Amino acid sequence: MKELVSQNISGLHFFYLIAPVLGIFLAGLYVRLVVKDDISHGVTKILYAISQRKARIKPHNMWSSMFASTLTIGFGGSVGAEAPIVLTGSAIGSNLARFFKMDQKTLMMMVGCGASGAIGGIFNAPIAGVVFTLEVLMMDLTLTSIIPLLIASVTATATSYFFMGDKALFHLSTFDSFSLDRIPYLLLLGIVCGIVSLYFTRVINRLEDFFGRLKNPTIKLTIGGLLLSSLIFFLPALYGEGYDTIELLLNGNPEKIMEGSVFYQFKHHSWILFVYLGLTVLFKVVATSATNGAGGTGGIFAPSLFIGCITGYMVAIGLNYFNLGIPERNFAFAGMAGVMSALMHAPLTGIFLIAELTGGYSLFMSLMITSTVAYLTILIFEPHSIYSMRLAKKGELITHHKDKAVLTFLNTNDEIETDFTTVNPEMYLGDLIRKIATSSRNIFPVVNNDGVFLGILHLDEVRNIMFRTELYQRFTVRRLMVSPPAIIKRTDSMENVMKIFDKTKAWNLPVVDENGVYLGYVSKSSLFDSYRHIMLEQFSDD
């Protein structure tokens, strides 16, 4: 399809205006009529499945997102295929484990194996596959658990070699050797990559929120399609995942990137390429968001490599304006690692992926410096990666912190105890005594006729008067009840619930829904039992 575009320059703009929208339309139609489920945000779905669904991923994810992304990207959607393929691999691992009735810990490991194999197979990068699982999916596995990840990643890479050959995606035979005097410039590149990644993160979140508020698919397609087509019309480099543009930059043909655009007629001006590349970086994130927002399916792997490559190349061009002799290809690769590391909050993934993508292990020093600085830069502004920030805000994100990770596996709704006897505030003491006689608890939630929680009544509050029959018709529950130390909402994350317990020093707290209706109680002792069970099931070495 891209060969057709390059062969027919005269029809380039028309093709760019129509094809991406057609691909998004077909992908959106397929999702709505065939899949009938949300298949966007592939890596985020894996993180959610690990933390909230016991690593269970729906069977249709074994094929649905890959097919939809093929339609989207094949027609020129400005996204990448990697995240959908990672979701596909993880879904295969999850459903295989469920089919063979494996235990929970093994099921989670199989999800990681699928992700490792997907990354290893896509990029011919077995080390990056394993590191991605540990860093991005935040699976705190033991040493013995890493062996299956290695096997999966190596096997997938070997399979990819068999069908596709062993050539690196961006292979270059020679690289400029590392020089100590370039360290300050690599530090600068790292800061720039961190800032660009922050821009990417903020813009994509804003645009996703905008498209999320649009409920009509036709309106989404119209707005997103027009936005994407307009951008590609003026900046043809935004067409597709962007690997062709990366190849042109790395092979020393940057002026060809502007072919088919209104900028091409000014190519003899030395500054026009810098302007064109800058606009491409600024609007790539908009094109990516428009593609997904309009109904397409794709990830940010390829866009992050695309933006990183151009960012590194531009920094090198800017520095060479002062005759500093910066190797532009080296900086392009370092920029790819820097942007990916910052976006995903995964510096090791960025380092090893670019090293394996290029076969350029001599780049390690440059990649390490840039990735580390970029990661530290974005960490100042964003504590979570682009994949995990939405889950983190909801308290649904598993982390490498084992204590918080265990709490993530626990769900407030699952810990509610409902064997507490409720009483009405207008109930007299005599009726209350009969309730007490049939209850095994010493706490009585007070609710009105609509079930709304009003307070609690402790057995200790009536112990000294419960045998004084002359008071049975004088005292009501309303007079005896008190407020609880705190009230838990069923939507509260378990981390927040534990903070409330620690603050109040209570052992039992009531739970209500969004309307204040009483649901039950959560006890600290029950939480401790569940905590210990999860710790043994998920994180033990046995």
Per-residue pLDDT of 273-318, as tens digits, reads: 899 999 999 999 999 999 999 989 998 889 999 999 999 999 999 9
Quick one: tokens of 407? 């709490």
Quick one: tokens of 474? 């004088």
**What pLDDT is stored for residue 353 in this prediction?**
92
Instruction: Name which of 139, 84, 135 is nearest 111 in CA terms.
Output: 139
Q: Tell me how far the alpha carbon of residue 400 is from its chain's centroid.
A: 15
**What pLDDT is stored for residue 278 in this prediction?**
93
pTM above 0.75, yes or no: yes
Burial of 502: CB neighbours in 10 Å, binned 0-12, 13-18, 19+: exposed
**What pLDDT is stored for residue 109 in this prediction?**
86
List the domain boundaries for the chain.
Answer: 19-164, 180-402, 409-538
**What pLDDT is stored for residue 456 in this prediction?**
87
**What pLDDT is stored for residue 482 in this prediction?**
84
Query: What CATH fold (topology level) applies to the domain 180-402?
Result: Clc chloride channel (1.10.3080)
Instruction: Name which of 488, 522, 490 is nearest 507 in CA terms.
Output: 522
pLDDT tens for 39-55 read 877 788 888 777 666 67
**What pLDDT is stored for residue 475 in this prediction?**
77
- In this structure, are residues 334 and 360 in contact, taking their beta carbons and an 8 Å threshold? no
**What pLDDT is stored for residue 281 in this prediction?**
94
**What pLDDT is stored for residue 507 in this prediction?**
85
Instruction: Name which of 296, 385, 408 is nearest 43 in CA terms.
Output: 385
The low-confidence residues of the chain, meaning pLDDT below 70, are 1-14, 51-54, 138-144, 166-174, 360, 391-410, 463, 466-467, 469-472, 531, 534-542
Quick one: tokens of 112? 């990681």
> Which CATH code fits 409-538?
3.10.580.10
- In this structure, are residues 102 and 111 in contact, taking their beta carbons and an 8 Å threshold? no
Quick one: tokens of 284? 């790539």
**What pLDDT is stored for residue 258 in this prediction?**
84
**What pLDDT is stored for residue 8 in this prediction?**
41
